[in-house]
Amino acid sequence: MVENVDKKSFKATHTPVLLAEVIQFLSCGDQKCLLVDARLGEGGHAEAMLSLFPCMMVLGVEVDGDILKVAGERLKCFGKRIQTFHSWSLEFFKGYGERSLEFPDRIFIDLGISMFHYRQSGRGFSFREDEPLDMRIDVEQPLTAGIIVNEYSREELEKMILEYGEERFARRISRSIIRERSKAPIRSAKVLGEIIKRSVPASRRYGRIHPATRTFQALRIVVNNELQRLREELEYSFQVLKNGGKMGIISFHSLEDRIVKHFFKEKNKSCTCPAEWPICQCGGRRELKILTGKAIFAKAAEQETNPASRSARLRVVEKL
């Protein structure tokens, strides 16, 4: 997701990615329908869906209280058709049965980080801002990026950057962090960004992607336990989706897309017996139908006007 931000008023106009495609696959026409927007953000997708489908109701889930206030203001014109929940989406789906809510016809999960976090939160998500190294989506959580950068061992830093950032220069970067923090604690996101930039070969410092991008991704993933939460969230959300209901997920990097793809692939199997068994004994059946085949990427026109959409990919399934 991406927003056009007015820093003075601290408001944002959210331009949701792959909006036309999401509408196409998750449309409910003129039928009564309940959608769970599990990562509400500033409400761009929800606003479009509520506007286009007058019989749709939306349950919007968002763990960041600051963004939830923006979304609430944006969507208040829809009255009782929108209900918001201040919660991690994993916990929301885990406790869904205790909320006396109807099971949803549609579930939508946008895994992107809002530009609100990069430009307005003051939590160090951007290596271009002189902000504290925090990176928490939920500020009640104890672990921060500053703790990781200043307390993890070199081996732990290298493993994290390599595994969650898929960064080829993980060893050089981790060594530079250890060296610089021995002089003074690294407190600023901008300072960390410069340390990382200086640690990679000169030929890699001025490319299309900033040298700190992958390391900052790794830090954010670990601070917010993003990948493990995603694995669990997929299972719990699929459980509450109605039979015949549809689930759409937008991911932004290969690590999370790999998890989504694998989950859908496993649920699409008609037999889960070991390959060496000659006869099926599980009595299983496919739990879903994959509607998108390969992941859908933003068209060239959208990528041109909305750079955040360039890495976005959408996968949609129907529960059987």
Q: Which of 105, 3, 110, 123 is nearest to 61 (CA)?
A: 110
Q: What pLDDT score was predicted for residue 5?
A: 38
pLDDT at residue 278 in the model = 82
pLDDT > 70? residue 14: no
The residue with greater pLDDT, 28 or 15, is: 28
Percent of the chain scoring above 90 in pLDDT: 79
122 in Cβ contact with 64 (< 8 Å): no
Determine contact, residues 289/244, Cβ cutoff 8 Å: no
Cα 113 to chain centroid, rounded: 6
Decide if 2-117+226-319 and 142-222 have a common fold: no
Residue 7 binned pLDDT confidence (cut-offs 50, 70, 90): very low
pLDDT at 134: 96
Instruction: Return the DSSP state at 77.
Output: G
Please state, in angstroms and rounded to a whole number, the distance separating the CA atoms of residues 71 and 16.
13
pLDDT digits (tens, 9 = 90+) for 255-279: 999 999 999 999 999 887 777 888 8
What sections of 95-169 are H helices per DSSP? 115-119, 145-151, 154-165
pLDDT digits (tens, 9 = 90+) for 133-178: 999 999 999 999 999 999 999 999 999 999 999 999 999 999 999 9
- Predicted local distance difference test score (pLDDT) of residue 13: 55
CA-wise closest residue to 192 among 159, 221, 164, 161: 161
Which CB contacts under 8 angstroms, 24+ apart, belong to 282-289?
A: 285/320, 286/320, 287/238, 287/319, 287/320, 288/238, 288/264, 288/317, 288/318, 288/319, 288/320, 289/317, 289/318, 289/320
pLDDT at residue 3 tops 70: no
* Predicted TM-score (pTM) of this structure: 0.90
Digit-coded pLDDT (tens) for 157-167: 999 999 999 99
- Residue 85 to residue 169: CA distance in whole angstroms: 40
Q: What is residue 3's three-state secondary structure?
A: strand
**Domain residues of the chain, as ranges?**
2-117+226-319, 142-222
Separation between Cα atoms, residue 104 and residue 101, nearest integer Å: 9
Question: Does 131 have pLDDT greater than 50?
Answer: yes
Q: Is the pLDDT of residue 10 over 50?
A: no
CATH for the stretch 142-222: 1.10.150.170
Architecture of the structural domain at 2-117+226-319: 3-Layer(aba) Sandwich (3.40)
Average pLDDT over the chain reads: 92
| pLDDT beyond 80 at 281 | no
Nearest to 48 by CA among 84, 14, 73: 14
